[in-house]
Amino acid sequence: MVSKKPVQRQGFKTGEFVVYPAHGVGQITTIEDQEIAGLSLELFVINFEQDKLTLRVPVAKVKSVGMRKLAGEDVLAKSLKTVTGRARVKRTMWSRRAQEYEAKINSGDLVMISEVVRDLYRSEDQPEQSYSERQLFEAAMDRMSREIGVVNKITITEAVKLIEKNLAKSPRRTAKTEQSNAAEAAA
């Protein structure tokens, strides 16, 4: 038995975009009652359009799973400022760093995700990334661009361009670009 419920629960309402840490940005389509194993549960039905995924989250579990509203302007600005910083790559084994990056991506925290984007970004003049580095970078970039896109009401492509524009401001990257431009001009 499934019945439609009122449009708001625990500060979340139908039609609203939310961030579910393990999947990124989704939209609450309905709030429904379902009977599961003899128990009546109230569930948020969240649609992740990009992944063609529908998730049902018990209203009572919202806090424990870390579901949150979209980032505000201040968090958005902080995440874009984070990607302009210098990459902080620890000198630990890749497997350990990869686990840390994965944990940051799945935290759902936009600033932590932007740290992964910053640390794993490679410009054209930098060495190739390994397959696993590229996968983690793309996952972080996808999560970050989707949230920025929805908050700023722009396409994901425009959000990616905005992030890349900020990545290009990084001190390490601008210094290399200026050096290579100066070398080309001298040649």
Bridge partners (DSSP) of residue 171 are none
Q: Between vectors from CA 32 to CA 27 and to CA 33, what angle results, nearest 5°?
A: 150
Q: What is the pLDDT along the chain (187 residues), one digit of tens a residue?
A: 555 554 777 789 999 999 999 999 999 999 999 998 999 999 999 999 888 999 999 999 999 999 999 999 999 999 999 999 999 888 999 999 999 999 999 999 999 999 999 999 988 888 888 999 999 999 999 999 999 999 999 999 999 999 999 999 887 655 444 444 444 444 4
Q: In this predicted structure, what is the pLDDT of residue 155?
A: 96
The dihedrals phi and psi of 150, each to the nearest 5 degrees, come to -70, -45
Distances (CA, A) of 106 to 18, 59, 67, 101, 109: 14, 20, 11, 9, 8
Identify the structural domains of the chain with CATH numbers, from first to last: 2-69 (2.40.10.170), 73-179 (1.20.58.1290)
| Distance from C-alpha of 91 to C-alpha of 75, rounded to nearest angstrom | 28
